[in-house]
Structure 1
Amino acid sequence: MDRLSGLDASFLYLETPAQLMHVCGLIVLDPATMPAPYSFGAMQEAIDQQVKGVPAFTRKLRRVPMGLDHPIWVRDKQFDIERHVHRLALPSPGGYAELVSLASHLAALPLDRSRPLWEMWVIEGYEGGDKVVVFTKMHHATVDGVSGSNLISHLCALEPDAEPMALMAGEKHGREAGARELLGRAVLANLTRPVHAARILAPTAKGVTRTISRARAGTAMAAPLTAPRTSFNGTITGHRTIGVTDLDLEVVRDIKTATGTTVNDVVLTLAGGALRAYLEERDELPDSSLLASVPVSVREQSRRDGGANKVSTLFARLGTDVEDPLERLQDMAQSNRHAKEHHNAISADALQDWAEFAAPRTFGLAVRAYAGLRLAEKHPVVHNLVISNVPGPPMPLFFMGAQIIGLYPLGPVFHGAGVNITVMSNDGRLNVGVIACRESMPDVESLVKHFPLELERLSQAVAAASDEATPLEKARARKRSKPPA
């Protein structure tokens, strides 16, 4: 029997028609590398062969009687690939604008909870028919950023005609339990919760004490509920808008090396600069810095065996109140060091431990009441947005024989934080995906366009400080000196 962890189940309880909890991805493919000419039927059949027998793709939810405990996963005995892999075509001229418009519509559609919680939409006709795009959706109850990336990569190969990588060897469907057993387990789980609470209360209290000490010493991570209010910090609707762009990973790494920072420091600095420019254009730039919630994988540190989501979170100020990009990066690096030290001092399983107390019925009712009363607009802003940096493949990958030339992740948005920025490395590029509530940010492209501009500004600032060529110029020179493939 495969019971959802409290954290996995929380993403089910958080979901409303406006606050959809699936994770999306926009995968741009070049079908010219495929051993046989592209056809939707062949691609659908190939995906079917690869996902059959893989629990993450073929399991569905089963509720516990009376909602006394978190749901369990059971095998979908009527699994049908035609319910999960669909075909669409872009309207003429089939360019970027048409693609993100269609993707925005698909992202706003909820997943059917009576089936395995994933879909793929194969979109034809992109760039005059030269490219095929696969738009993926997987519920957050089944994956986090890292496991979702791994799951998609397991459907890929290192060569166009090679077999896809091994699909999670050893993972099997759990035994199916009857209603009486589920009810008994749920009653037992509820009876033992006070013991569980007592066990995690002491470590939590120590963590709070350490946080207070760090705050007094000025070495704590940024605190939630201290973010300035912006136009995208309110109650969201179910409408979505999407934008994507690319950055040169070599340039980012050169900046990292020249400044003694990290790739994540640079990514957050670029996001801060892009958001600053976006808000300045609208005369909305607040005096204090925006605050981002940054999911952190604790997969390697966690002591828990089960559960798809193994994440924690830290809070980071983005330096939107700092005009100079190099000064913003230096401030970001220092504050991130403090935030990581603070985060490492907290149990890796703290969020998962407390999520076990999420009651299925009361949690869902509370979320709906929160949205209906528009409370996100009445209390201090918890955080302005979510920003994720997910490691991706360092080499070319091929999806059903077609080379992946773009892999843009898109996370969920929340009441009170209507924008999500997710960055993934992919074969020497950083693919940036931005998704927003349409009413919170009607023109997401006005934000997306600033990412490459901010990389140029930061590159120039680093060069000016060292009297050398900019990291962007160095990267271009290296590429010119490489022999043709």
Structure 2
Amino acid sequence: MDRLSGLDASFLYLETPAQLMHVCGVIVLDPSTIPDGYSYAAFRAELDRRVRDVPEFTRKLRKVPLGLDHPIWVQDRHFDIDHHVHRLALPSPGGYAELVELTSHLAGLPLDRSRPLWEMWVIEGYHGTDGQERVVVFSKMHHATVDGVSGSNLISHLCSLEPDADPVTEVEPLVAGREPGHRELFGRSLVSMLARPLNAVRLVTPSAQLVTETIGRARAGTAMAAPLMAPRTSFNGTITGHRTLALADMSLEDVRQVKNVTGTTVNDVVLAVAGGALRGYLEARDELPSSSLLATVPVSVRAESQRSGGANKVSALFARLGTDTEDPLERLRDLAERNQHAKEHHQAISADSLQDWAEFAAPRTFGLAVRAYAGLRLPERHPVVHNLVISNVPGPPIPLYFMGALIEGLYPLGPVFHGAGLNITVMSNNGKVHVGVIACSESVPDVEDLVRRFPAELAALKAAVVSAQTPKRQRKSGSRAAAR
């Protein structure tokens, strides 16, 4: 038995038919590297073998009596791979357009909560830009089960460094524990509920100190950007259950070159490129606001957390994306400075504060509040909390093989929310930066126009960096010539 943390459970309570709380991934595979050749039957059998010992793949939810506490994980004693792995084929001509249309539809389907909260679709008949046939795996896992880092670790358990090698990460054999009875579960939940007031008192003092420090930072101009101060855009309203997604690639070497020359970070460059892409997208639609868009940027606190339990170990900071700045290099420099302040501010916040406060999320109250929030269309009536979510997940620097097939593309896709119907997630992989964009289709009708601006914005930023360096080189060259 393993109780969900408050933060993990919150993703269950936040879910509605329109606001789905699973994370997705599009994995493009070259099946020619599989030692014995590709067949769906063998692929499925190997997948079944590898997930059997991994708790995240074989446990399911069990509610506690009267909803007194967060649910628990229990072993699914009737686990069947056929409930989780499905086979599909793309319609002709099997290109990118057909792939994103199919995966957009799959992304809008909820997971079955009576079973372990994950699914995979093995999609055959996809032809890449070189005309060669590829296999695509579209995966879904509920956010109650994984965050960005733990999800990446789970995928690595299904991957190897060579086509016929063992998985990159190993797990200890799964031992099915005793499932508690109704009375035991009720008793534990009652004890947990009675302890909450005492735990709340313990959180008051550090939270008050944080508020005081934030006020001081705001006066000094070193606080991170504040929520509820974002401009309104077409994707900041009530969402539907329809999804649309798009994919793009950028050069990791280009990102690093810009980072090294400007003294910034990879995350700074990614956010600056995203800001430029969003600026172009909104400007083309005559929707560009005069003030900068505000993004929520999830931050992993796995290394700093003092909590042993829970799948989600994340916090978040708010970042202005510089969409009100036309010059890409100026945008990067301003963003890097603001990000430094935001990081320092964020470090002053306890790594476990979000997890600690999430413990007080009441299942019934939380769920009813979310439904009322959407039903009354409140996202369109109050100030915009944030415009979108942007995540940057570090991936493998070397080639990886998924069930023996070389991974050519690894595109993560996060959830979208009422009030912020757009999510951008990037992940590095073997010299590339894969960009996954997912949105409510009514909020962002042309997501392809947005995602194709990412490589162009990186090229523009790189050109601006080179241009800024050229006069210095010329001056140095002229000085050497004069000396001679």
TM-score normalised by structure 2 residue count: 0.96
* SS of residue in 2 equivalent to 1:121: strand
Which secondary structure does the structure 1 equivalent of 2:222 belong to? coil
The corresponding residue for 2:409 is 406
What is the deviation of 1:405? 0.3
Other structure's SS at 1:467 match: helix
The answer on 1:285 being equivalent to 2:288 is yes
1:36 aligns with 2:36: yes
Matching residue within 177, 190, 195 for 2:193: 190
State how far apart, in whole Å, the 2-side matches of 1:113 and 1:75 are. Answer: 13
Q: Percent identity?
A: 74
> 1:54-203 maps to which residues of 2 (within 5 A)?
54-127=54-127, 130-169=133-172, 173-203=176-206
SS in 1 for 2:304: coil
Q: Deviations over 1:278-305 (max 9, x none)?
A: 0000000000000000000000000000
Q: CA deviation at 1:200?
A: 1.1
Q: Would you say the 8 A contact 2:89–2:124 is kept in 1?
A: yes
For each residue in 1:194-227, what CA deviation from the matched residue of structure 2 results, as whole angstroms up to 9, or x when unmatched? 1100111111111111001000000000000000
Sort the Cα spacing of 1:268 and 1:66 in 2 relative to 1 into closer, same or farther, 3 A: same
1:298 matched to 2:301? The reply is: yes
TM superposition shift of 1:163: 1.7
- 1:354-399 Cα offsets, whole Å, 9 max, x none, are 0000001100000000000000000000000000000101100000
Deviations 1:416-460 (A, max 9, x none): 000000000000100000000000001100100100110110001
How many residues were matched structurally? 470
Aligned residue for 1:222?
Answer: 225
In 2, are the aligned partners of 1:244 and 1:433 still within 8 Å (CA)? Answer: yes
Residue matched to 1:479: none
Given that residues 2 and 174 in structure 1 are in contact (C-alpha distance below 8 angstroms), is that contact kept between their aligned partners in structure 2? no
**How much is the aligned-residue C-alpha RMSD, in angstroms?**
1.3
Give yes or no for contact 1:2–1:175 (8 Å, CA) kept in 2.
no
Gaps spanning 5+ residues in structure 1: where?
471-485
Q: Secondary structure, in 3 states, of the residue corresponding to 1:436?
A: strand
Q: 2:110 is paired with a residue of what secondary structure?
A: coil
Task: For residue 36 of structure 1, report the CA deviation from its aligned partner.
Answer: 1.1
Over residues 104-161 of structure 1, what are the superposed CA-to-partner deviations in whole Å (9 max), with x where a residue is unaligned? Answer: 0000000000000000000000006610000000000000000001100111000011
Gaps of 5+ in 2: 474-484
- Equivalent residue for 2:363? 360
Kindly indicate whether the alpha-carbon contact (under 8 Å) linking 1:463 and 1:469 is maintained by their aligned counterparts in 2. no
- Indicate whether 1:334 and 2:332 are aligned: no
Taking the aligned partners of 1:166 and 1:22, their CA distance within structure 2 comes to 23
Corresponding letter in the other structure for 1:241: T
2:380 equivalent to 1:377: yes
CA distance in 1, matches of 2:472, 2:391: 30
Is 2:53–2:171's contact at 8 Å kept on the other side of the alignment? no
Does structure 2 conserve the Cα–Cα contact (< 8 Å) formed by 1:54 and 1:167? no
SS of match in other structure, 1:227? coil
Query: In the alignment, what sits opposite 2:21?
Result: 21
* 1:53 positional shift: 2.2
Q: Using a 3 Å threshold, how does the CA distance of structure 1 residues 438 and 23 change in structure 2: closer, same or farther?
A: same
Residue in structure 1 matching 2:327, options 324, 328, 334: 324
Residue matched to 1:348 = 351
SS in structure 2 of the partner of residue 396 of structure 1: coil
Q: Residue 474 of structure 1 corresponds to which residue in structure 2?
A: none
Aligned partners of 1:198 and 1:8: how far apart in 2? 22
Which residue is 1:464 aligned to? Answer: 467
Deviations 1:248-283, CA, capped at 9 Å, x for gaps: 000100000000000000000000000000000000
> 2:54 corresponds to which letter in structure 1?
V
Q: Is the 8 A contact 1:395 1:426 kept in 2?
A: yes
Query: Structure 2 CA distance, aligned partners of 1:172 and 1:332?
Result: 48
- Alignment partner, residue 478 of structure 2: none
Match of 1:236 in 2: 239
Equivalent in the alignment of 2:4: 4
Select which of 246, 258, 263 maps to 2:249.
Answer: 246
For residue 258 of structure 2, what is the aligned residue in structure 1? 255
Q: CA–CA distance in 1 between the matches of 2:349 and 2:177? A: 32
In the alignment, the residues of structure 2 paired with residue 176 and residue 185 of structure 1 have an alpha-carbon distance, to the nearest angstrom, of 13
Q: Tell me which residue corresponds to 2:481.
A: none
Cα separation, partners in 2 of 1:469 and 1:267, compared to 1, 3 Å: farther
- Kept in 1, the 8 Å contact 2:146–2:312? The answer is yes
Q: Is the 8 A contact 2:53 2:172 kept in 1?
A: no
- Whether the aligned pair in 2 keeps the contact of 1:325 and 1:458 (CA below 8 Å) is yes
* Partners of 1:388 and 1:421 within 8 A in 2: yes
Distance verdict in 2 for CA 1:468–1:117, change over 3 Å? farther
- Contact 1:54/1:172 (<8 A) preserved: no
Contact 1:55 1:173 in 2 (8 A): no
Indicate the residue corresponding to 2:439 in structure 1: 436
Partner of 1:482: none
Q: 1:147 to 1:171 in 2, by over 3 A?
A: farther
CA shift, 1:66, in A, is 0.8
Amino acid at match of 2:435: V
User: What letter corresponds to residue 212 of structure 1 in structure 2?
Assistant: I
